[in-house]
Amino acid sequence: MRPLLKVLYSLCWSNVYLIMGICMGLSFSLLLVPIDIDKQHDIAESFDHSSNTLEDVDPYEPRINTDGKPQQAPKARKAFVRPRYYSTELGIREKLFVGVITSREHLHSRDVALNKTVAHIVDKIRYFISIPEGTKPNVSFPGIVGFTDTRNVLKPFHAMKYIIDNYLENYDYYFLVKDVSYVNARGLAEFVNKISVSQNVHAGVLSEIENYCSLEPGVLLSNSVIQEIKNNLDWCVKNAYSDSDDVNVGRCILHSTSMPCTDRVQGQDFKFTRLKPAFHFKRDFAELAERSDFRNSLSVYPIHDHMLVYKFNMYFAAINCMKVHKLIGDIRKVISETAHLGPPNQRNVSWPIGNQPGNRPSGRFDVLRWSYFNESHAFFETDFVNIQELRGNTKSDLDYVIDAAANNIISKHDDKLSYKRLLNGYQKFDASRGMDYILDIAFNEVATGKEVRKRIEVCKPLGKVEIIPVPYVTENTRINVVVLIDLEKKQDALNFMEHYAQDCMEKKYKTFLMVVLLYNFNSQSKGKGDVFYEVKKNILALNEKYKKDQSRITWLSIRLPSNVTSVDFDPMMKIAVTDLCAKKFSPESLVLLAETGAKLKMDYLNRVRMNTISRYQIFSPIPFIEYHPDIIYTDEVAHDEVDVNSNYGKYDEQNYNNIAFYIKDYNAMRQTVEANIPLTRSDKDIATLLKFSKHSPVTSLFEMYVSFSDMHVFRAIEPTLKIKYKDVNCEDDFNDSIYKSCLRLKNSHLGKRSQLARLILDYQNYHT
């Protein structure tokens, strides 16, 4: 036992410091720990109480759950609707709004001049006038805003109120000006493009009173300033006690923004020219044009003669044209000097320098056509015309090009040459570049009379591409299809209705079909002896079959007079029938005149809806017509569907049988032309209208729109509108014009030249 104690003692003695440190550490840790006796007692009691309570609770005793009560109704999440344009979502505004404070007496003079010189350059322009209620202005052009409050002192504030209500979020800058100034619109647009929208702008020409701008030359305000004026507009109206608009408007702006008028904005000077009271254009303009401040003026005032506006605009347009030509020359010079720095395969400089080099055909089918012409005719302009006389704008355009080229050569030779004649001319249109010409021109030397020949290459580049705004249309409009049927087309009508039922009624296209039945003057029209009995029976059967789909077909019976010679080729006949059909539709109806040999596809119907615009545009598609099957299908089986291929047919530019329009546009056009072409109100009036057939002022319904309506006319090829071949019978009792058009149509629908030539050769070989 003693040896064991000795060992323990030696171990403890050797580790005495370690043992003492552990004991001291434990002692200090116990002394520093806080002891909450009451809390521990409460916890113990609560534990005992809860344990006793759980034992006593009846599991079937109802209990009230108050957790999360009362519940709050969840907020409905609002659906995020994105704006129509990304610029609206990003807060991007247009640049410049111009408001002209004028009067009704000067609309036809000063404001028309401002409209012609400013409106096409700035983003928006409005003309503010005071006009009594119930009266109209003496001129009509877009942008006139009339206020019934005739107090002139409040007119500028009415203009500001109109801007705030309608255009507050649309523009960065607003330029208010009276109608006694010429506004250099291009200079003003450049001025606002060089300044930042992040700062308030109150710029113009200082008036007689310090800190106020004059409205005669105009005042330029930023959007932020207009926002401030919005909050103080009532104060401005109450304090408009001065007879001067400059003072009232200046006081309003100064009160709203504490910002005085200035003629310098962010390093840019608002330059202007104040004319003398006795200014005379012929006498004083030469001196005025020498002043640099006038050439850079944004506003020239006062001008009470509106003709001066046109004269000043011509001067500033000429200055701008010179700047543009100089800029183009500088750019071309830079292109020529830096061409060698480009990649080796792209160092060729196009001609004219800086213009598109033109189309590079990927194959022989993409090579653009060069058309030959002389001073009077064009040759082989299309595949179907050998020679065409130059007329109208085409003739004027070619004469202008020839004169410009000849004058350029004469000026380069110091007038030692004189123009003699055009030897050869070639032209080519490239949609990516413009119109190119190659001219061979003969000149005479003035001194010797010797003939000198020059080959000149001319290019007319495409100008700036502009987007033409058109009214908004949708593809939901119902199309009312009208088809004309005579005794010779009964089978064609049955085939057409069969395809119409499959393509339109069964697929629930939004269409309606009216079949116009043209009875001869002695044809039976009742009972089973009706010449169109089968057609009517088929219509009733289809209506019953698709009754649930609300798709219907109806017919309109018209009795023709005895003097009818042709239904297809007499334009007066089609106009008369259209008059009678138009009475059956409402003014808002969209009508499509169709042929029986066509199949109505969805793509075609949608293009009719999109391209026919109420009060704006009619649509006449160019169909693809099939050649004679016996000629084109000599070595193969005839196709059920017409293939769009030059071997099987062609786009018939002379076909105007398919045309779409709105009834109210048709009625408006017919009222215009009623004095020349009487309106057909009943079947009995057809005979009266047919008397105009021999000396008809128009050759088709399409031409009547072109000649007597101011609506746009849209005509283009339609690949999905395919017309099956039909025999054309040209009878001798037609009058001369109808007979010639019938023969021309019959011959052009037989086949291609190569196919007809092969047919003739085969016939000759067969008989030899």
Residues 381 and 515 in one domain: no
End residue of a domain, out of 699, 717, 735: 717
Task: Decide if 303 is inside a domain.
Answer: no
| Secondary structure string (H, E, C) spanning 336-347 | HHHHHHCCHHHC
Q: Where are the alpha helices (DSSP H) in 181-340?
A: 185-193, 223-231, 233-238, 245-257, 281-289, 292-295, 306-338
Task: Decide if 753 is inside a domain.
Answer: no
Label residue 555 by pLDDT band (50, 70, 90).
Answer: very high
Residues 442 and 534 in one domain: no
Residue 391: give its domain's CATH number.
3.10.450.10
Residues 521 and 665 in one domain: yes
Residue 529 confidence (pLDDT)? 84
Residue 406 confidence (pLDDT)? 94
Residues 132 and 225 in one domain: yes
Task: Decide if 99 is inside a domain.
Answer: yes
Residues 445 and 546 in one domain: no
Residue 94: give its domain's CATH number.
3.90.550.50
Residues 547 and 409 in one domain: no
- Overall average pLDDT of the 45-55 stretch: 46
Residue 348 confidence (pLDDT)? 74
Residues 410 and 503 in one domain: no
Label residue 43 by pLDDT band (50, 70, 90).
Answer: very low
The pLDDT tens digits for 296-324 are 999 999 999 999 999 999 999 999 999 99
Residue 53 confidence (pLDDT)? 45
Q: CA-CA distance, 481 to 477, in Å (whole number)? A: 12
The pLDDT tens digits for 389-435 are 999 899 999 999 999 999 999 999 998 999 999 999 999 999 888 99
Residues 534 and 571 in one domain: yes
Instruction: Check residues 58 and 476 and name the one with the higher pLDDT.
Output: 476
The average confidence (pLDDT) of the chain is 86
End residue of a domain, out of 700, 717, 734: 717
Task: Decide if 266 is inside a domain.
Answer: yes
Q: CA-CA distance, 226 to 167, in Å (whole number)? A: 10
Give the global pTM.
0.63
Instruction: Check residues 696 and 115 and name the one with the higher pLDDT.
Output: 115
Residue 35 confidence (pLDDT)? 55
Bridge-based pairing state of the strands 590-594 and 479-485: parallel
DSSP 413-430: TTT-EEEEEEEEEEEEEE
Residues 553 and 441 in one domain: no
Task: Decide if 335 is inside a domain.
Answer: no
Residue 466 confidence (pLDDT)? 76
The pLDDT tens digits for 348-393 are 778 888 888 888 888 888 889 899 999 999 998 877 788 999 998 9
Task: Decide if 28 is inside a domain.
Answer: no
Residues 108 and 254 in one domain: yes
Domain limits for position 397: 371-461
The pLDDT tens digits for 52-96 are 444 455 677 777 777 666 667 677 777 777 777 777 778 788 999
Please tell me the least confidently modeled range out of 42-51, 226-235, 304-313. 42-51
The pLDDT tens digits for 569-622 are 778 888 999 999 999 999 999 999 999 888 899 999 999 999 999 989 999 999
Task: Decide if 77 is inside a domain.
Answer: no
Residue 254 confidence (pLDDT)? 92
Task: Decide if 346 is inside a domain.
Answer: no
Residues 168 and 136 in one domain: yes
Residues 687 and 605 in one domain: yes
End residue of a domain, out of 461, 496, 531: 461
Number of domains in the chain: 3
Bridge-based pairing state of the strands 712-723 and 617-626: parallel
The pLDDT tens digits for 117-140 are 999 999 999 999 988 887 877 777
Instruction: Check residues 344 and 41 and name the one with the higher pLDDT.
Output: 344
DSSP 646-712: TTTEEE-TT----EEEEHHHHHHHHHHHTTTS----SGGGHHHHHTTSTT-S-SSHHHHHHHH--SE
Query: What is the greatest pairwise CA distance in the chain?
Result: 157
Residue 592: give its domain's CATH number.
3.90.550.10
Q: Is the pLDDT of residue 629 over 50?
A: yes
